[in-house]
A and B are shown apart, each in its own frame.
Chain A
């Protein structure tokens, strides 16, 4: 059983399109995150939700909108995609907000052409 699963694994799309990435965790965790990994492998937090409540929104353009329908799911919707949005996006979850280790999904490689 996959603990944190995200779909799709690969996403190739044209500039200006709108796309979504879905994430689900079956660990019973209260906190979920979206991280962005750039081409140099640097990882940066984008959003964090705790029990469906937005906790962190780190200077991310408002074209990015997370949605948490329940505490097991955290989806990421991106409007008007730009070339610079190309990256790997990781979903993660943790039992306690920021204090314990996070479990990561396999990542979604987004390529905007």
Chain B
């Protein structure tokens, strides 16, 4: 079945550092791809999405580009803030549901 693999955490960065969280997927067909964020004690919020190859999703300074040739959807941010500390999930749609990666904990220190 379809699956998503994302880098293990936790990732610990200093404020204003550059962030990359790697995400690769295995899927039949061409799924839509998503990044969700979960702040402590809260539900999942959609951060950004891309629906076809070469699409770039962006929101709140975060970006990710749908790369069909490398089956990847890496999340990047140029300058992280303490408030970005959360768990980040990469996900794909398989036509019936979302399939999630294991999540990556991000900790940003001031």
User: A residues touching B (Cβ–Cβ < 8 Å)?
Assistant: 4, 33, 40-45, 48, 55-56, 90, 92, 97-107
Contacts and interface: CB of A to CB of B under 8 A. Distances in A.
A41 B89 CA distance: 10
Contacts of A101: 32, 34, 46, 49
The 8 closest A-B pairs by CB, nearest first: A104-B43, A98-B96, A104-B44, A43-B100, A41-B103, A106-B43, A45-B97, A101-B46
Interface residue tally on B, bucketed by range: 20 to 34
A27 to B, nearest CB: 13
A56 B38 CA distance: 24
21 contacts: A33-B97, A41-B38, A41-B87, A41-B102, A41-B103, A42-B100, A43-B89, A43-B100, A43-B103, A45-B98, A45-B99, A56-B97, A92-B44, A92-B98, A98-B96, A100-B32, A101-B32, A103-B46, A104-B44, A106-B42, A107-B42
B79 interface: no
A3 B109 CA distance: 32
Contact of A99 (B89, B93, B100, B103): B93
Nearest to A44: B100
B26 interface: no
A97 B95 CA distance: 7
Nearest to A43: B100
Nearest to B93: A98
B96 A56 contact: yes
Contacts of A98: 93-98
A55 B96 CA distance: 8
Most buried by A among B46, B96, B97: B97
Interface string B17-40: 000000000000000101010100
B17 to A, nearest CB: 23
Contacts of A4: 43
A44 B103 CA distance: 12
Given A4-B43, A102-B46, 8 more contacts: A33-B97, A42-B100, A43-B100, A56-B97, A97-B96, A99-B95, A101-B32, A102-B98
